[in-house]
A and B are shown apart, each in its own frame.
Chain A
Amino acid sequence: MSQVFRCKRVSSGIVEGEALISQDAILFYYTDPATGVVTEDGHCLKGVSVKDKILIFPGGKGSSSVQADGMYRLDRDGSAPRALIVEELDTVLVSSAVVMEMPMVYHVEAGFYDRVKNGDWVRVDTEKLTVELVEKD
């Protein structure tokens, strides 16, 4: 059975994809736009691609312009994540997601974090304000 969790919306979209979880904050400047691979030394996702993923991470970091630029290049080259699920908001990440029209939600009910694993199929719906863990046959 699929499980549905409430969330809040930053920017709109109804998308689904594979979950990718990061324990570390993310600065999208440190990704390779051609592949979506995280390039930051010491980052828990170094060498892993965020392309087409539902990216679950604590929040953003880094300087005020490079976050947007990282997102922009990923989007331009077709390597962007499908949606962002974060715990904490910061203005840079929020405004970048809004401007880039990258779906983003936050404050997902706690149970979601207990259950979600890398590779799970996740559906984000900012109209219903839900994040769904989809059971696949």
Chain B
Amino acid sequence: MILSEYQQEMLDGKYGKGKAMAMQILEAVGDSFEAQRMVPISRAHISLSAQDADVWFAEKMGGAGAVCAVPPTVNPGYCVDYFRSKGVLDEKAVAHMERTERAYRRLGAVMTYSCTPYLFGNIPHYGEVVAFSETSVTVYANSVIGARTNRESAASAMCAAITGFTPEYGMLLDENRRADILVEVQAEMRGDFDYALLGLLGKKIGKGVPVFQGLPRHISTEGLIQLGSELNVSGAYEMFHIVGVTPEAPDLKTAVGGRELKRHVVITREDLDQALEEFSPPLRSEVEFVILGCPHYNYDQLRQVARLLESGPAVVPVWIHTSSAVKDLAGRTGMEEALLEKGVELIPDTCVDEACCWKRLAGQAGVTDSPKASYYMRTFGVQMAVRDTESCIRWAQRGRVE
């Protein structure tokens, strides 16, 4: 890889040890992928997780004096104020999150604590080169917006933010963005949840860049978020195309761009049903809690839940994860209060994958509309069956499945 004079100086330590360390890591990543050069980024998003490795690395870079050239937005950790008020967090967990925040603030991060930065706070435009980590963010930016980012880890996105550069390879290059798997969807898509199920078919679709054909011309933002998010539960996808919908796929020919199609996959309603059957833990007769908002719910989704609860309040806890921005908005419109009256709490700044907040639900019967939430919460023993939002809310109103 050939570095510019400025990049080389950074590597040599002229701008401090922190920048030099970040550049070393990026150089190793670039060399591994046989990148020819480094290119500037205009945005970064870091999948802050408040997990051990995350804090260790943020402190290591901050301790070496690194400050971000491109201030990154960050993923959720957990909302100390909320969970402490519920008596859930012990002092150790409180201290850990506060430590995470200090480490990121020292680096100059923008503490958005949201996994949907592309909706608020960090919205790239078509063709923009960015360094986004958090798998559902990466795939959305590439696929739906047509920005260019690799599937960065928290560490590589942080190094890009610190230096302002990323090695040019993978999804930054035209040829790798073209589709090489044709996915013909014969199933009729009935709602957003079907896009989550479609995303669970990663094993059937196979590794590569899929182009979906046969989907409706108008797909909700939430459906597109679900598709990308769940493709990264069942596999590892940087990008997908939908003919007539996503910007690099006005038609099939353009999406494929002369690349050889290595697979042609047909998806039927049976495939979607089977995906759910195989993925979801079994439903139990009782429902003791509902978790929604993975990825973070937007305002329209709050409205949908409010509408579903018009027929009566939830009798078991319903927790919705969302961004502070959406929660503030819900506060101003009266939505938050209305939901609270129906037994729904909005939790800001928090990821479902935080054992210290949610492990207490282990053993209880939960449901969620997010396969990703179900997948990650299993790691600490919380079992949630997966169904569409309507079913989750209906059962929350009864406390059981019927």
**Chain A residues packing against B (C-beta within 8 Å):** 8-11, 25, 29-30, 59-69, 71-73, 76, 88-92, 94-96, 98-100, 106
Inter-chain CA distance A88–B33, complex, in Å, is 10
When A and B form their complex, what is the total count of cross-chain residue pairs whose Cβ atoms lie within 8 Å? Answer: 106
What is the size category of the interface that chain B forms with chain A? 35 or more
A contact residues around B135 at 8 Å (CB): 63-64
Shortest beta-carbon distance from A48 to chain B in Å: 18
B contact residues around A30 at 8 Å (CB): 379
Instruction: Pick the interface stretch among B81-89, B151-159, B282-290.
Output: B151-159
A contact residues around B150 at 8 Å (CB): 91
**B28:A68 contact, CB within 8 angstroms:** no
Say if the beta carbon of B59 comes within 8 Å of chain A: no
B contact residues around A68 at 8 Å (CB): 53-54, 57, 153-155
A contact residues around B134 at 8 Å (CB): 63-65
Instruction: Pick the interface stretch among B44-52, B63-71, B302-310.
Output: B44-52
Inter-chain CA distance A90–B170, complex, in Å, is 9
Inter-chain CA distance A76–B133, complex, in Å, is 24
Shortest beta-carbon distance from B201 to chain A in Å: 15
Inter-chain CA distance A94–B35, complex, in Å, is 14
B contact residues around A76 at 8 Å (CB): 52
Inter-chain CA distance A107–B133, complex, in Å, is 25
Closest to B157 in A: A64
Say if the beta carbon of B389 comes within 8 Å of chain A: no
**A64:B170 contact, CB within 8 angstroms:** no
A contact residues around B156 at 8 Å (CB): 91-92, 94-95
Closest to A42 in B: B278
**A63:B32 contact, CB within 8 angstroms:** no
Say if the beta carbon of B266 comes within 8 Å of chain A: no
Closest to B136 in A: A63
Closest to B27 in A: A98
Say if the beta carbon of B323 comes within 8 Å of chain A: no
Shortest beta-carbon distance from A78 to chain B in Å: 15
Assuming the contacts A64-B134, A69-B51, A98-B25, asked whether A90 and B236 have C-beta atoms less than 8 A apart, the reply is: yes
Which of A25, A69, A92, A94 touches B32 (beta carbons < 8 Å)?
A: A94
Q: A59-B236, A66-B51, A89-B32 are in contact. List 5 more A-B contacts (CB 8 A).
A: A64-B157, A65-B134, A91-B33, A92-B151, A96-B155
Contact with A along B147-174 (1 / 0, CB 8 A): 0001111111101000000000010000
